[in-house]
């Protein structure tokens, strides 16, 4: 049941970035990571660490885009396509911007709020789930990496 599932406990932003950087070491062209978890759970922090792990030139530029759905970061080991689809109400909007070009491209997709577009995600999608653990402290997050898109 838990085939290939990996779980970390992060106690800080830095630790979350480090975990992301470690995962980025294994990234291959066409990988798709659905980042799920509530507001402020650490999805963008993870994306920044992932970018650093890919040796993207300015990983500090990986921020939550306010009005753009996609930010492209090139110049690293692989192109990084960082999506935040929080504002999408209909997966057709993602289709309209040509998301398939990236999902089936030669870079790595990180998609915040990916459950909004779950029907567009390829079967090879992996989910990274961010959960707060208030009983373990304000900065504690459980990070679970699993095969499959968000439910």
Ligand X SMILES: Nc1ncnc2c1ncn2[C@@H]1O[C@H](COP(=O)(O)OP(=O)(O)OP(=O)(O)O)[C@@H](O)[C@H]1O
* Closest chain position to ligand X (CB): 42
Q: How far is the CB of 100 from Mg ion (least distance, A)?
A: 23
DSSP letters spanning 94-122: HHHTTHHHHHTSSSEEEEETGGGGGGGS-
- Helix segments in the chain, DSSP class H: 13-25, 43-53, 91-96, 99-103
Q: Are 126 and 117 spatial neighbours (Cβ–Cβ below 8 Å)?
A: no
Among 51, 112, 121, 125, binds ligand X (CB under 6 A): 112
Q: Which span (13-21, 24-32, 67-75, 95-103) binds ligand X, by CB under 6 A?
A: 13-21
By CB under 6 A, residue 10 contacts ligand X: yes
In the list ligand X, Mg ion, none, the entry touching 57 (Cβ below 5 to 8 angstroms by class) is none
Neighbours of 147 (CB within 10 A): 13
Q: Which residues bind ligand X (CB under 6 A)?
A: 10-13, 15-16, 37, 39-45, 64, 112, 139, 141
């Amino acid at each position: 049941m838990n085939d290939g599932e990996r779980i970390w406990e992060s106690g800080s932003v830095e630790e979350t970035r480090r975990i992301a950087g470690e995962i980025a070491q294994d990234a291959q062209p066409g990988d798709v990571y659905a980042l799920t978890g509530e507001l402020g759970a650490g999805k963008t922090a993870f994306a920044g660490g992932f970018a650093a792990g890919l040796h993207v030139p300015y990983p500090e530029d990986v921020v939550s885009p306010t009005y753009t759905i996609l930010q492209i970061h090139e110049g690293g080991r692989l192109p990084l396509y960082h999506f935040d689809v929080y504002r999408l109400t209909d997966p057709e909007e993602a289709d309209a911007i040509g998301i398939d070009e990236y999902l089936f491209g030669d870079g790595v997709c990180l998609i915040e709020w990916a459950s909004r577009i779950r029907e567009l995600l390829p079967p090879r999608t992996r989910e990274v789930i961010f959960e707060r653990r208030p009983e373990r402290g304000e900065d504690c997050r459980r990070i679970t990496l699993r095969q499959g898109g968000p439910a």
